[in-house]
Homo-oligomer: A and B are copies of this chain.
Amino acid sequence: MERIILGIDPGFSFTGYGVLKVSQGKTALLDCGYLRLPPQKHLSERVGIFHQFFTKKIEQYKPTGIALETSFLGKNAQTFLKLGYLRGILYLLANNHQMSIQEFAPREVKSMLTGFGGASKEQVARMVFMLFPQLQQLKESERNDLTDAVAITLCGLWYNNVVVLGSTRAS
């Protein structure tokens, strides 16, 4: 059974994403990258760009599900609310393209990747690089921001799934 997961770590200044496919026990990283929304544009335009960007990715890769990290309130409530705008767009896309949508708490992501919910960002990144060594060829400034998105994508792929780390690593 083939499954394709689009994992997204949304934010107005930086949105990382990954696209992973599992087929016959093999996992392949189809795409990963990021989107920066131009801060000088009106909020509605930025929301529109975000919607268009992921509509195109969905049309291109036809994912069966979306994976997201659960957000928690930070220092700024209005920033938190606006993060909801982008998440709402992803829920809309999940509905309109008949995809599942799954959220993972940061501890779950760490636990699924490293076996330990209190793991550091570096430990998670190390695991992601081990599974997908090609990511190490990216610029250092980019790759660190992308490991989070790829880690969330992996959670989406592994959740409720028979794929074990061993067979994933072999691909």
A84 nearest in chain B by CB position? B84
Is there a chain B Cβ closer than 8 Å to A91's Cβ? yes
Give the secondary structure class of A's interface: helix
**How close is A56's CB to chain B, nearest CB, in angstroms?**
15
Contact assessment for B89 and A89 in the assembled complex, using a CB-CB cutoff below 8 Å? yes
Please, how many angstroms separate the alpha-carbon atoms of A96 and B101 in the complex?
Answer: 24
Give CA–CA (A85, B83) in the complex, Å.
Answer: 9
Q: Which B residue sits closest to A95, measured CB to CB?
A: B48
Knowing A44-B92, A45-B95, A92-B47, say if A77 contacts B73 (CB, 8 Å): yes
Contact of A85 (CB < 8 Å), options: B43, B44, B51, B87: B87
